[in-house]
Structure 1
Amino acid sequence: MKSFCLSTSILLCCFFSFGDDADFSPSLESKEGFHHFLINIPAPRGLILDNQGNPLAYSQEAKRGALYLKRLKDTETPKEVVAQVEDVLSYLECVGIDTIRISKSDIRSHWENRPFFPLSLTEAVTPNQMRLLEYGIGENDGAFEFQPYYIRKIPGGEVLSHVTGYVGRAYPEQYVAVGREESLWPPYEGRSGLEKSMNETLTGKPGVMSIVFDNDGNEVYRDVVEPPVPGKTVVTSINLEMQILADKVLKNSGHNGAFVAVDSETGDILTLASNPGFDPEEFISGISSARYAELSQDPDAPLYHRAVSGEYPPGSTFKPILGLAALSTSNVNPGTHLSGPPAMEIDGKVFRNWNSDHEGYFDVRYALMRSCNTWFYQAAFLTKDKPILSLAHRFGLGYAPDVPLEGVATGNLPAKAPSRRGLANLSIGQGEVLTSPLQMATAMTGFANGTRIALPRLVVQTQDAISPDEPSVFEPKFQSLGVQSMNMNVIREGMWGVVNQGQGTGGRARVDNPQVFGKTGTAQWMNEGEERRLAWFTGFVNASTPKIAFAVVTEGRSGESMSGGRNSGTLAGEVFRKVYEQPEQFAVTAPSGPANYYASYSVRQPARSVYDRTDDGGGSMGLFGRSESYEERRRAQQAQRRSQPRQRRGIFSALFGRRN
């Protein structure tokens, strides 16, 4: 990391070491026939690095073609100047070099207002293009030069496009009279992502150069009066190798979506993958309005940062929070068995489980493993809305994470559940509940840690380019959950079963060592006015360095069936198996011994009736369904007796007859 900063300083010194042997004095500016200017030197923008010191964005020296109009062959009239410039532009285009869009009025204005300064014709040219132009551009060879300047490079390209963002010119090429704050070239400013939010830190301080020209436009003196100070280095929490892998897996899935991974011990965001992305370098030299319209109107929304800005119903990934809230009340404990019928009637509406079979009576561990909707409806009614919503807020839902990016989603938590139906929807992460992938990954740090969530951190420190050994550090921050460790362990056991038990819904995410604890989720959401399906998989990896909490979401296409385990769980498993097969590449530590975590589950067989227990008045009823009347219960009992075979009589029948 330090060597990269040092190389930037060396480049800076070499880049601006002009006129060392010149023997001119400042008094030259007052002599007749000379023209003196003080010009700003744009400072190179600071580096953006990942957590291993790999560059995510940096400034690089480049060359661009320019014409000194005073040195053109024919300069009697502005018309002649314009014609010669257009000839040079045509030649450059003919040999395949992209030129800057310059109008005739721009050329005329430059000639009239700043004839001593070079007129830039191209953006950065490649070494091959420079060699091609060594053969000359015709009769105006002496007027054409390659001018050094800085360009911004983002080596990750689309992989980190939403995180690093992009830069643009602070102002366009100038053709008017030279001003007091004139620069050698238009500097860059951040337009999105970290480039924008950390713009002041990255910009640095411009230097000052003294330049003298004679009447013929020849430069006779140049001196750096004040050297520029490079911008500061921004060190992020991103793990570039892991980000590349997550991005690749998302793209290969064929679905739009996001993959967020967070170090649960520090809150460091390791991946913020969002698919699709865009090429940020398209914006650096100025993107055309047609191309920008193409990107902004693309139905797949490549400019949209799903990992941070996406607001989705969390579906069943909300159930661990509900389960923990339920255990925190006196109405539900680790041994409480509720039923798992295929459907329940709530205030006149049927709410269904994903499984059409009755799953029996079971505890919260088994309910999480099987993701039984009807079990959680009942748990929500026993818990009430306030404890659920209060705990969800402590898990980081309902407010925007404090990360330096644009469009960070707040999500939504209702102030209360307006009805029993609303509470049922809340229990399975539907209705008014909305979360971002970053929020869900943050919530999972709570289950990984047990007592607190780690608030997300994207920028770890900033370093001065001159003295990088004295960084400004952004310390980790945490928020207490205020839950009992016994209850937290019960929920963890359920999340372990989701992935590692045969009946769990997230088996595709299984990693032999370290083990994955997770929760699948499938949700309905509206996209462009059309109802579609979402697939979620959230959880944490039970390793120590780091203990990674994560959230994966994939968006279904129109009419497509989605499953949290099949669509998103598969992606999580693919990423984490690769990460722990090659721990050094991904800067993680794999556990040395075999995984030995185990959880037990308690389940009883289902009742014959869809109604689950008897109320105080003797009527059979679903725990939160409508009560059966005495007549309904009597008819049900009669139908049950009629369906049974008649008892046989006699000793032989008593001894050997069929038993019921």
Structure 2
Amino acid sequence: MKRNPRELEQTHKTFSRRALLVGGIQAAMIGTLAMRMRFMQVDQADQFRLLAEENRINIRLVPPTRGEIFDREGRVLGRNIPSYRVVLVPEDAGDVDKVIADLAQLVQLDPEELERARTEMRRSPPFLPITLADQVTWEDISRVAVNAPALPGITPEVGLTRVYPRHEDLAHVVGYVGPVSDYDLNQLEDPEPVLRIPRFQIGKVGLEAKHESLLRGKAGSKRVEVNASGRVMRELDRREGEPGADLQLTIDADLQEYTQARLAGESAAAVVLDCETGDLRAISSAPSFDPNLFVRGISVPDYRSLTEDKYRPLANKTVQGVYPPGSTFKMITAMAALEEGLIGPDETVYCPGFLEVSGRRFHCWKRGGHGHVNLENSLKQSCDVYYYDLALKVGIDKISAMANRFGLGVRHDLPMSAVAAGLAPDRAWKRRVHDQEWLVGDTANASIGQGYMLASPLQLAVMTARIATGREVAPRLVKSVNGIEQPSGAGEPLGMNENNLRKMRRAMYAVSNDRRGTAYGSRIIEDAYRMAGKTGTSQVRNITAAERAAGVIRNEDLPWERRDHALFVGFAPYENPRYAVSVVVEHGGGGSRAAAPVARDVLLQALYGGTPPLDAYPQKDRSRIEAQQERLERERRPRARPNESDRA
């Protein structure tokens, strides 16, 4: 059928318009794409080039070298040693189980470590290396390297790990490190990226934890080339970080070792303080533990043996342990009375064996009493009634304030875990804590270091040093940081009447050197090193009236945990004090029998800088002391000290 020419013309016009519209749209789209491509390829070329480079090159952290720890003579207490380990890259291994089985023929694999590695494999990408064996020997590494062609995916590596060559001697002081845990990360508000490096070690307790920021250092970085899946292809460059600071402690490692050995077999603590500088020369808690066990993760049986030991080896009794100070507190009660002008050195109090206070009898340790005693005789014979009487005159608030001035009831600033403040209670404290009024009987108890009164061995050593010097001696543990000397703890004068302090020192001298003194049996014979001190015995149980009437049960007839604590504090030489010492033997019975001999031996070791001559001891004790010295030397000799020749 022939179409009308007008219709054909109209159809042609319609088609042309549509073609132009479609063509225009297509041209606009092509133009837009072209402009976008130009924008991305020309205008934003640098930005996309940077993004591409970041996909090809990664920046990764390099762990810093941890600072090392030395004693005052430069002997190593905590250091880093090469640690060889065997790692596996699962995707390179193929049959992982077969490769592990082949490796086990060459290197002994710990089942627990292997199970942790398998768990890590399931959580991690297959190209990340997994540690199968840590701290293996050089011989093991050599066998792995020789058999490398038969062990696809296996690589021997070397890193650094912490070691404590003094083992148990300084575990409570130095502490230990361990791998960063989820708990550690949760404790920090903004954890540093370096803490997320697998198996990175940080301080867990003790000095290692308290000075973590100093010891850790600053992480370095390295640029590595990676492929599309993220596997490292090569290292491009490296920037080393800043190593951690080296710390030199005030501790004398040899004296610490001797003190630890002298306390062996007891649940006890001893502190030796330099009276001039406040330096802690020894701070020993017994029994102790080997911190090296914790570095890689302690086994369940080893940890159980520590936690189930009734002597509590994990507890640092020198700063964590707080005990009723017993008669070692009597100097504080006496100083409070002397400073108030309430007594003179020749004034006497009659001791019939008890003092009646508010209808209750407060007994002296000597059932028949001491008769008339003055200040010196009361301290020398440790008469309780004399101090009950003084305390009722002085009042608890002034006694508590005096205790604070001598370092009791005060938390001393030391980089050690869980340093206790102890307790020197007063009226306000009891009202605040117990919602009760202070009683006169509380004052009587506090006067002889019982009742609410609590002190740590560290605080007792500080108290003794302040009595010996008249200065506000403060304990110091870190001697220098990277060779920079730290502030001394010598302290300023206490502001006490020097005559009163001399009376206290003379009375403490009588305790150790007068035949009727409670510590006479543990005196030092060498005139140049004569010791002044005070024994103490603190009760851990109540003695009933019925028991007193029938006769108080002897400590040795009681279960160990119900026996009294034994204490002793002292300083030497008397004329020119160099060292103050405190000793607490848990449930040791009497201070004169259990604590004073230890304190005397440790003081002599410090004064002589090694084993003292036998003529420093009383004649009757010399054969026993000689046998003791030989035994301690035999016990100490087998304990090798790796790298001990290295000095700071």
Bucket of the pairwise TM-score, normalised by the shorter protein = 0.7 to 0.9
The equivalent residue for 2:475 is 456
**1:487 Cα offset (Å):** 1.2
Q: Does 1:563 align with 2:615?
A: no
Give the direction of change, closer, same or farther, for the CA distance of 1:413–1:109 in structure 2 (3 Å limit). Answer: closer
The equivalent residue for 1:516 is 531
Choose which of 300, 316, 319 in structure 1 pairs with 2:311.
Answer: 300
RMSD of equivalent CA atoms:
3.5
**1:226 Cα offset (Å):** 0.7
Distance in 2 (CA, whole Å) between partners of 1:211 and 1:481 is 62
**1:530 Cα offset (Å):** 6.1
Choose which of 465, 470, 487 in structure 2 pairs with 1:445.
Answer: 465
One-letter amino acid of the structure 2 residue matched with residue 227 of structure 1: E
Distance in 2 (CA, whole Å) between partners of 1:143 and 1:62 is 20
Choose which of 167, 171, 176 in structure 2 pairs with 1:166.
Answer: 176
One-letter amino acid of the structure 1 residue matched with residue 167 of structure 2: G
Give the direction of change, closer, same or farther, for the CA distance of 1:490–1:90 in structure 2 (3 Å limit). Answer: same
Secondary structure at the aligned position of 2:332 is classed as: helix
Choose which of 200, 206, 219 in structure 2 pairs with 1:187.
Answer: 200
The equivalent residue for 1:339 is 350
One-letter amino acid of the structure 1 residue matched with residue 607 of structure 2: Y
**1:472 Cα offset (Å):** 6.0
Distance in 1 (CA, whole Å) between partners of 2:202 and 2:112 is 23
Give the direction of change, closer, same or farther, for the CA distance of 1:182–1:446 in structure 2 (3 Å limit). Answer: closer
Secondary structure at the aligned position of 1:454 is classed as: coil
- Whether the 8 Å contact between 2:396 and 2:426 is mirrored in structure 1 is no
Distance in 2 (CA, whole Å) between partners of 1:352 and 1:44 is 61
Structure 2, unpaired ranges of 5+? 1-48, 183-191, 428-436, 543-558, 618-648
The equivalent residue for 2:60 is 39
Distance in 2 (CA, whole Å) between partners of 1:182 and 1:566 is 50
Distance in 1 (CA, whole Å) between partners of 2:230 and 2:222 is 17
TM norm structure 2: 0.74
Distance in 2 (CA, whole Å) between partners of 1:430 and 1:219 is 67
Give the direction of change, closer, same or farther, for the CA distance of 1:399–1:500 in structure 2 (3 Å limit). Answer: same
The equivalent residue for 1:59 is 80
Structure index of larger Rg:
2
**1:67 Cα offset (Å):** 2.5
Distance in 2 (CA, whole Å) between partners of 1:41 and 1:530 is 51
Range moving further from structure 2, 310-319 or 160-169: 160-169
**1:186 Cα offset (Å):** 3.0
The equivalent residue for 1:414 is 425
The equivalent residue for 1:506 is 519
Distance in 1 (CA, whole Å) between partners of 2:366 and 2:181 is 60
Aligned residues: 531
Distance in 1 (CA, whole Å) between partners of 2:348 and 2:262 is 39
The equivalent residue for 2:251 is 238
- Whether the 8 Å contact between 2:107 and 2:140 is mirrored in structure 1 is no
Range moving further from structure 2, 497-506 or 519-528: 519-528
**1:66 Cα offset (Å):** 1.6
- Whether the 8 Å contact between 2:110 and 2:133 is mirrored in structure 1 is no
Choose which of 433, 446, 451 in structure 2 pairs with 1:426.
Answer: 446
Distance in 2 (CA, whole Å) between partners of 1:180 and 1:332 is 64
One-letter amino acid of the structure 2 residue matched with residue 395 of structure 1: F
Identity %: 29
Give the direction of change, closer, same or farther, for the CA distance of 1:490–1:57 in structure 2 (3 Å limit). Answer: same
Give the direction of change, closer, same or farther, for the CA distance of 1:312–1:52 in structure 2 (3 Å limit). Answer: same
**1:261 Cα offset (Å):** 1.1
The equivalent residue for 1:318 is 329
| Counterpart mapping for 1:237-636 below 5 A | 237-251=250-264, 254-288=265-299, 291-416=302-427, 418-449=438-469, 451-463=470-482, 468=483, 471=484, 473-476=486-489, 478=491, 480-511=493-524, 512=526, 513-525=528-540, 531-542=562-573, 547-556=578-587, 562-581=589-608, 583=609, 585=610
Give the direction of change, closer, same or farther, for the CA distance of 1:533–1:283 in structure 2 (3 Å limit). Answer: same
- Whether the 8 Å contact between 2:278 and 2:488 is mirrored in structure 1 is no
One-letter amino acid of the structure 2 residue matched with residue 523 of structure 1: S
Distance in 2 (CA, whole Å) between partners of 1:289 and 1:37 is 40
Distance in 2 (CA, whole Å) between partners of 1:427 and 1:256 is 26
Secondary structure at the aligned position of 1:241 is classed as: helix
Give the direction of change, closer, same or farther, for the CA distance of 1:434–1:108 in structure 2 (3 Å limit). Answer: closer
One-letter amino acid of the structure 2 residue matched with residue 107 of structure 1: M
- Whether the 8 Å contact between 2:511 and 2:532 is mirrored in structure 1 is yes
- Whether the 8 Å contact between 2:145 and 2:156 is mirrored in structure 1 is no
Distance in 2 (CA, whole Å) between partners of 1:88 and 1:524 is 63
Secondary structure at the aligned position of 2:533 is classed as: strand
**1:263 Cα offset (Å):** 1.1
Structure 1, unpaired ranges of 5+? 1-26, 173-178, 595-660
Range moving further from structure 2, 390-399 or 474-483: 474-483
One-letter amino acid of the structure 1 residue matched with residue 540 of structure 2: W
Distance in 2 (CA, whole Å) between partners of 1:517 and 1:71 is 72
Distance in 1 (CA, whole Å) between partners of 2:576 and 2:296 is 41
Secondary structure at the aligned position of 2:462 is classed as: helix
Secondary structure at the aligned position of 2:464 is classed as: helix
**1:573 Cα offset (Å):** 1.5
Give the direction of change, closer, same or farther, for the CA distance of 1:165–1:46 in structure 2 (3 Å limit). Answer: same
Would you tell me which structure has more helix in proportion to its own residues? 2
One-letter amino acid of the structure 2 residue matched with residue 540 of structure 1: F
Secondary structure at the aligned position of 2:444 is classed as: helix
**1:375 Cα offset (Å):** 1.8
Secondary structure at the aligned position of 1:46 is classed as: coil
Distance in 2 (CA, whole Å) between partners of 1:102 and 1:407 is 32
**1:192 Cα offset (Å):** 0.7
Give the direction of change, closer, same or farther, for the CA distance of 1:566–1:85 in structure 2 (3 Å limit). Answer: same
Secondary structure at the aligned position of 1:453 is classed as: coil
Choose which of 178, 184, 199 in structure 1 pairs with 2:212.
Answer: 199
Distance in 1 (CA, whole Å) between partners of 2:356 and 2:599 is 35
CA deviations 1:106-143 (Å, max 9, x no partner) are 32444xx251x432111111234445556637821x54
Secondary structure at the aligned position of 2:505 is classed as: helix
Give the direction of change, closer, same or farther, for the CA distance of 1:386–1:290 in structure 2 (3 Å limit). Answer: same
One-letter amino acid of the structure 1 residue matched with residue 565 of structure 2: L
Distance in 2 (CA, whole Å) between partners of 1:364 and 1:400 is 30
One-letter amino acid of the structure 1 residue matched with residue 77 of structure 2: L
**1:257 Cα offset (Å):** 1.1
**1:171 Cα offset (Å):** 4.8
Give the direction of change, closer, same or farther, for the CA distance of 1:224–1:552 in structure 2 (3 Å limit). Answer: farther
**1:64 Cα offset (Å):** 0.9
| Counterpart mapping for 1:24-173 below 5 A | 36-72=57-93, 75=94, 80-81=95-96, 83-88=97-102, 90-91=104-105, 94=108, 99-102=113-116, 104-110=118-124, 113-115=125-127, 117-131=128-142, 133=144, 136=147, 139-140=150-151, 143-171=153-181
Secondary structure at the aligned position of 1:44 is classed as: coil
**1:303 Cα offset (Å):** 1.4
Secondary structure at the aligned position of 1:306 is classed as: coil
Range moving further from structure 2, 154-163 or 357-366: 357-366
CA deviations 1:173-203 (Å, max 9, x no partner) are xxxxxx9869775321111111111000111
Secondary structure at the aligned position of 1:452 is classed as: coil
One-letter amino acid of the structure 2 residue matched with residue 51 of structure 1: R
TM norm structure 1: 0.73
Secondary structure at the aligned position of 2:222 is classed as: strand
CA deviations 1:188-233 (Å, max 9, x no partner) are 1111111111000111011112334689999764354211211011
Secondary structure at the aligned position of 1:491 is classed as: helix
Secondary structure at the aligned position of 1:540 is classed as: strand
